[in-house]
Chains A and B, each alone.
Chain A
């Protein structure tokens, strides 16, 4: 088509217009315009055509939809094309990690790490493996390494903050959570993060609480109660804050009622009872 068009253009420029009759001139112009129109239509049609999804995308879709067979097929395909395919290795390791094949996941991550030594994702995931093996010291080291390569790596920050908080290093936990909070708000589209949101916010509130920033902690709890699904533990934490620090017994009682309503199991019953005792004692 293009070739034809070029010849027509040449024809147009080199035509002895003066010699041609009017009818002929009109005919040539008509031909040129029709060809240009066709060309334009062709180009438009080309642009409209949807691009097929790449193998990586298909692999990710299969992973998300937990279609194991398809996922493995695309992983193999991608790795056969490139044995060091970053995405493929990452997803494969994660797949094994999720299936509790920590050793294999570690092997794959280490393999990927050889090719991508500054990958924050790999370090974070290796940190998780260490965490799962209860090697918290190593996990902390790996999470910090993640943050070294990506200062704003949200998962690493949150993972690290949770470890610190568990070990009562709430100052470090709070600083990390403060950094993570705005990012968390931005990354709410992340499904996993969304599912962990309340836990993170709870940890944030606990860290604030332990850092004697009770008001800020209260705000966080309130926001959790407004926006997300509530777990009994969070309600109990909030009640504790209200009773022990803020001395808001009424609200605490309401929260406890809510908690008691949500879960009536023995595990929580005892805790609810203890907090209620503290309320009555204070009265």
Chain B
């Protein structure tokens, strides 16, 4: 009875704790998986650029391995644990089968009532004792009933037919026991020397045990043993005391009491033997325990031993426990069959015992023995329907022991008992078995694969990964078309991805996608397939290399990229609203761009814009910029313009900062168009477009360039008005300061334009402005010079001189000395002779290549000195003029003039010689004059040698004048005083005769001069004198006024 209680308590404990344990395990699993999924690293693609436009926009979905139950539900666990092989319930010993307990209870109650009346009435000892024993009996019956009820309720609870855990209320039992104790104690007091005291003590002891006062009970039993050593109640007393110690795990004490009970070889013999075997077993004296059990079996077989109640034969329990004890013994598992063959009747029971042993080994955690025994069983009956379960047990036993053996056994299980195995074909008739076995294998292998895969994900152990790979492969080989394949293939695909076997991964995902179109993994598989394909498509750098070779032409997609695009398209079609779909659009857009499929790239980017949320500013900005950039690369400015305008109308875009750049681009399109037109040679249209752009984008920096370009094109078509307008507006504009190059060009070009237009004053000032701003420019000296020339021409002498001097300072050439000549001319025109002389002198002293100007300068200096009556200096410069002219063999006219001036000096000297009135001196004076005339003649010859007609004519005329002067001087010479009239006449006649040749030669010279003047068309200033001389005395007296004419011709 006590053992039974212990069993009950133990089972209660398990019943109460097991659900919580199970619950804990499940929740732990869930938590683990949750943790796992968190730890799964996001699939950041290595080739991902930083921007949103990267291919990495797609992230892999979190992988979740299906939840794995710790125990396979449909595998019915054999009740092989210790708690199931505890000694049989004691109640059954008292109430064997067929006993109607309730009827008995009713009868007992009636009897108690009846006896109680009698006891009250009579108080007899017999009635007293009977009543007490009936109370004990009744308590036992109630206890049995309650236990029975409790057992059933517990069963219901275990079967989940009852929500709450049942409780057992033993109070009614205690009531009866207490009543019994009271009656028995009263009896002992009333009849202390009654011979039936041993019975009273036995019941008393028992009742104390019932009300859970075992020590009092034990004391009563010990008192009984002491007082009545030969009592018939000693056997149950020993047994109960054995039980008392058994329950308290005091195996030796318990064994000693069981041994005492055995000695009686009565009712408790087999039971005591059985319990003693357990005591030995618990004392780890396994072989002794086995021998005790063997004894029980042997005793039971001895049919001659009739003293032992068959009802209480423990052979069945002993056989059961023998298997258990065998499992704990040192006996070889392989020998189990031959051993059990000795004890179990029939092959079937032996087989069953071996099977139980195998399970017992399993419970003990002895996988080697499990493997050996189950293999033995399989060997004994290879096509046994249970064989697949035996193999399963082997697999299960090695589940967490040795992975290599486990996989070996698992493979064996799958191969030997799978749906295509020989075992399955043999058991084909048992469809249920085949189905169940197949399901079991399927489920187990799958779950195991998941578990290992999950473990791999958690620990990242390579071994786990490899095992998972093997198991998945095994599974898919055995169950290629299983319903649960979707899950497995999806997980396998994931694993292959981790194994960097992307192609194989894609293949698995393809199956999941194509076969399970409405499956739970369809979306994730679609996504992961894209990710796997993304890993095997050519990298960005590879594509870039290809693009370089393609030289700007689009590159056709390789097969794998096509596959990738198809996968993306499929995903977008089905899961278009997912965020990942948007990311894929980004990736595809980028890929098309890389392969230079510009049109497709544009369409993808446009889809990106339409799908992107308004808040995703960076993506929209990227998309907008990329689309515009593509059009720009294609030089498709029409579409660029259309697109840019559309963007500005788009609600998502027009408020963003990128709209500003779109507007800029829009402006830039006009600019580009203008540029293209310019390249095509349509300068006018181009110029108009540039101008239009500049007007509409006046705030943009490029507007300055546009206007400048417009001016260039206008200039090309000859529209200088526009050019000038633009230049003027540009020069006035503020932005020109920021465009120094354009400013330089404009300032360089503007004076030329003014000059070309005839706006010389503006041109001069523009030249001056440029030269004063760009002092170090190459053109600066020339511009100063030009400004000087124009100012000079405009009679702005001061400005001209300044400009010329600036030119002198800025120029590094020798020709810069020319400015002195130019300034001298200005000063001369101004009438500032001194300064003119100074500048001409400077010019002549400075090196210059213009030889003619040097001659002219010398000549000018002679003239200017003459003007200021510095005759000697004038003559000096005349001489120098001649010298320079001779040196350079140039400027004969100037030399001739200079020579004439010198000759004229000779003439003046000749004229200055006067004939004195003193006759004695007259001849000498005449002689002197004649010699002077000869010198003059020589000088004239020099003039003539230059062969410059005007000077030749003038010289001849000068000679005529000299001769005439001599003749007149001779004729006018004073006559000697005191001459008689005849002599005077003769004298005068002689004088006339002397003068006549000079007069004649004078006329000849004049005629010669006139003749010479007729040879030339030149202007001859000396002709006037000649004509007057030759026409003297005629009617022509040259008194008329001649009008000088200066008729311009237009």
Whether the pair A106, B759 counts as a contact (CB closer than 8 A) is: no
| In the assembled complex, B1041 has its CB within 8 A of some CB on chain A | yes
Output the residue of A77, A136, A144 with the most chain B CB within 10 A. A136
Q: Cα distance A91–B1049 when bound, in Å?
A: 10
With A79-B757, A81-B718, A168-B1028 as given contacts, are A203 and B1018 in contact (CB-CB < 8 Å)? Answer: no
Whether the pair B757, A155 counts as a contact (CB closer than 8 A) is: no
Q: Cα distance A106–B760 when bound, in Å?
A: 13
| In the assembled complex, A113 has its CB within 8 A of some CB on chain B | no
| In the assembled complex, B75 has its CB within 8 A of some CB on chain A | no
Which B residues are in CB contact (< 8 Å) with A57?
Answer: none
Q: Cα distance A163–B1018 when bound, in Å?
A: 10
Q: Cα distance A108–B790 when bound, in Å?
A: 10
Q: Give min CB distance, A114 to chain B, whole Å.
A: 13
Q: Give min CB distance, B683 to chain A, whole Å.
A: 15
Whether the pair B1043, A168 counts as a contact (CB closer than 8 A) is: no
| In the assembled complex, B1050 has its CB within 8 A of some CB on chain A | yes
Whether the pair B1021, A167 counts as a contact (CB closer than 8 A) is: yes
Whether the pair A79, B758 counts as a contact (CB closer than 8 A) is: yes
Instruction: Convert B719-746 into 0s and 1s, putting 1 for each residue whose CB lies closer than 8 angstroms to a CB of A.
Output: 1110110000000000000000000000
Q: Which of A101, A124, A131, A169 contacts B794 (CB 8 A)?
A: A101
| In the assembled complex, A256 has its CB within 8 A of some CB on chain B | no
| In the assembled complex, B1038 has its CB within 8 A of some CB on chain A | yes
Whether the pair A200, B1045 counts as a contact (CB closer than 8 A) is: yes
Which stretch of A1-9, A42-50, A238-246 is in the interface?
A: A238-246
| In the assembled complex, A212 has its CB within 8 A of some CB on chain B | yes
Q: Give min CB distance, A33 to chain B, whole Å.
A: 44
Q: Cα distance A136–B1037 when bound, in Å?
A: 24
Closest A residue, CB atoms, query B755: A83
Closest B residue, CB atoms, query A122: B1049
Output the residue of A79, A171, A196 with the most chain B CB within 10 A. A79
Q: Cα distance A233–B789 when bound, in Å?
A: 41
Whether the pair A77, B721 counts as a contact (CB closer than 8 A) is: yes
Whether the pair B1047, A104 counts as a contact (CB closer than 8 A) is: no
Instruction: Convert B922-957 into 0s and 1s, putting 1 for each residue whose CB lies closer than 8 angstroms to a CB of A.
Output: 000000000000000000000000000010000000
Whether the pair B718, A108 counts as a contact (CB closer than 8 A) is: no
Instruction: Convert A159-182 into 0s and 1s, putting 1 for each residue whose CB lies closer than 8 angstroms to a CB of B.
Output: 101111111111110000000000
Instruction: Convert B995-1020 into 0s and 1s, putting 1 for each residue whose CB lies closer than 8 angstroms to a CB of A.
Output: 00000000000000000011001111
Interface secondary structure of A, over-half rule? helix
| In the assembled complex, B24 has its CB within 8 A of some CB on chain A | no
| In the assembled complex, A279 has its CB within 8 A of some CB on chain B | no
| In the assembled complex, A128 has its CB within 8 A of some CB on chain B | yes
Whether the pair B789, A156 counts as a contact (CB closer than 8 A) is: no
Closest A residue, CB atoms, query B1022: A167
Closest B residue, CB atoms, query A140: B1019
| In the assembled complex, A36 has its CB within 8 A of some CB on chain B | no
Whether the pair A199, B1045 counts as a contact (CB closer than 8 A) is: yes
Which A residues are in CB contact (< 8 Å) with B229?
Answer: none
B residues 888-907 touching A (CB-CB < 8 Å): 893
| In the assembled complex, A117 has its CB within 8 A of some CB on chain B | no
| In the assembled complex, A218 has its CB within 8 A of some CB on chain B | no
Q: Which of B756, B1042, B1049 contacts A83 (CB 8 A)?
A: B756
Q: Cα distance A108–B1026 when bound, in Å?
A: 39
Whether the pair A97, B1048 counts as a contact (CB closer than 8 A) is: yes
Q: Cα distance A241–B217 when bound, in Å?
A: 196
Q: Cα distance A141–B1050 when bound, in Å?
A: 19
With A80-B719, A169-B1013 as given contacts, are A107 and B789 in contact (CB-CB < 8 Å)? Answer: yes
| In the assembled complex, A139 has its CB within 8 A of some CB on chain B | yes
The total of interchain contacts (Cβ-Cβ below 8 angstroms) comes to 170
* Category for how many chain A residues contact B: 35 or more
Whether the pair B1048, A155 counts as a contact (CB closer than 8 A) is: yes
Which A residues are in CB contact (< 8 Å) with B720?
Answer: 79-81, 83
| In the assembled complex, B365 has its CB within 8 A of some CB on chain A | no
Q: Which of A80, A106, A168, A199 contacts B756 (CB 8 A)?
A: A80
Q: Cα distance A137–B950 when bound, in Å?
A: 9
Which B residues are in CB contact (< 8 Å) with A77?
Answer: 721
Which A residues are in CB contact (< 8 Å) with B1019?
Answer: 136-137, 139-140, 163-164, 167
Q: Cα distance A209–B1041 when bound, in Å?
A: 12
Closest B residue, CB atoms, query A103: B793
Which B residues are in CB contact (< 8 Å) with A244?
Answer: 1035, 1037, 1039
| In the assembled complex, B792 has its CB within 8 A of some CB on chain A | yes
With A107-B789, A107-B790, A140-B1017 as given contacts, are A80 and B757 in contact (CB-CB < 8 Å)? Answer: yes
Which A residues are in CB contact (< 8 Å) with B1020?
Answer: 167, 169
Whether the pair B1045, A162 counts as a contact (CB closer than 8 A) is: yes
Q: Which of A102, A137, A155, A212 contacts B1018 (CB 8 A)?
A: A137
Whether the pair A210, B1036 counts as a contact (CB closer than 8 A) is: yes
Which B residues are in CB contact (< 8 Å) with A75?
Answer: 757-758
With A79-B758, A162-B1044 as given contacts, are A210 and B718 in contact (CB-CB < 8 Å)? Answer: no
Q: Cα distance A16–B759 when bound, in Å?
A: 71
Whether the pair A121, B1050 counts as a contact (CB closer than 8 A) is: yes
Whether the pair A203, B1045 counts as a contact (CB closer than 8 A) is: yes
Whether the pair B1042, A162 counts as a contact (CB closer than 8 A) is: yes
Q: Give min CB distance, A247 to chain B, whole Å.
A: 9
Closest A residue, CB atoms, query B1025: A168
Q: Which of A92, A104, A206, A214 contacts B1042 (CB 8 A)?
A: A206
With A167-B1019, A212-B1036 as given contacts, are A203 and B757 in contact (CB-CB < 8 Å)? Answer: no
Which A residues are in CB contact (< 8 Å) with B724?
Answer: 80
| In the assembled complex, A82 has its CB within 8 A of some CB on chain B | yes
Instruction: Convert B63-93 into 0s and 1s, putting 1 for each residue whose CB lies closer than 8 angstroms to a CB of A.
Output: 0000000000000000000000000000000
Q: Give min CB distance, B395 to chain A, whole Å.
A: 99
Q: Which of A82, A125, A199, A203 contacts B1049 (CB 8 A)?
A: A125
Q: Cα distance A97–B1039 when bound, in Å?
A: 32
Output the residue of B1013, B1021, B1049 with the most chain A CB within 10 A. B1049
Which A residues are in CB contact (< 8 Å) with B756?
Answer: 79-80, 83
Q: Cα distance A153–B1048 when bound, in Å?
A: 11
B residues 778-792 touching A (CB-CB < 8 Å): 789-790, 792
| In the assembled complex, A273 has its CB within 8 A of some CB on chain B | no
Closest A residue, CB atoms, query B1047: A155
Whether the pair A89, B1021 counts as a contact (CB closer than 8 A) is: no
| In the assembled complex, A220 has its CB within 8 A of some CB on chain B | no
**Which 8 A-B pairs rank lowest in CB-CB distance, beginning with the nearest?**
A103-B793, A104-B793, A80-B720, A83-B756, A199-B1043, A162-B1045, A155-B1047, A168-B1027
20 inter-chain pairs at a CB distance below 8 angstroms, sorted by A residue, are: A76-B721, A79-B720, A81-B721, A89-B758, A101-B794, A103-B789, A103-B793, A107-B790, A137-B1019, A140-B1017, A140-B1019, A154-B1049, A158-B1047, A159-B1046, A159-B1047, A167-B1023, A209-B1040, A240-B1037, A240-B1040, A244-B1039
Known pairs A169-B1020, A172-B1017 / 9 extra A-B pairs, C-beta < 8 Å: A76-B721, A80-B720, A80-B724, A83-B720, A137-B893, A155-B1049, A158-B1047, A159-B1047, A233-B1043
